[in-house]
Amino acid sequence: MKRALNVIGSTLSRLRYGKDWTQEMLSAKCSVLGVEVTRGTLAKIEAGLRGVNDAELFVLAKALKVEMSELFPPEFKQRIEKNRR
């Protein structure tokens, strides 16, 4: 199995489903905020088949009305915090 190209895909999907939004709806919200993130791009990000650039990370958090750190899975944040010590 290939390694995912991002760490936020599953969390992004969970947050989107939690709001009962389709990928198309999230894509439209990103467009309104000024960054084009297509439905196909979202599908690839959620599946871990595509990386995420800084502008996309920022706009996805804004569109979902969460802090950027909330897009990262808990185990990733824990690993980073552990390595900071």
pTM of the model: 0.90
CATH code of 51's domain: 1.10.260.40
Residue 3 included in any domain: no
Residue 40 included in any domain: yes
Q: Cα–Cα–Cα angle for 59, 46, 74, nearest 5°?
A: 80
Residue 1 included in any domain: no
For the residues of 35-57, what is the DSSP string, one character each? ----HHHHHHHHTTSS---HHHH
Residue 72 included in any domain: yes
Residue 4 included in any domain: no
Tally of domains within the chain: 1
> 59-84, pLDDT tens digit by residue?
999 999 999 999 999 988 888 888 77
> 18-60, pLDDT tens digit by residue?
999 999 999 999 999 999 999 999 999 999 999 999 999 999 9
Q: By residue range, what is the domain housing residue 19?
A: 9-84
Average the pLDDT over 4-9 and give the result: 95
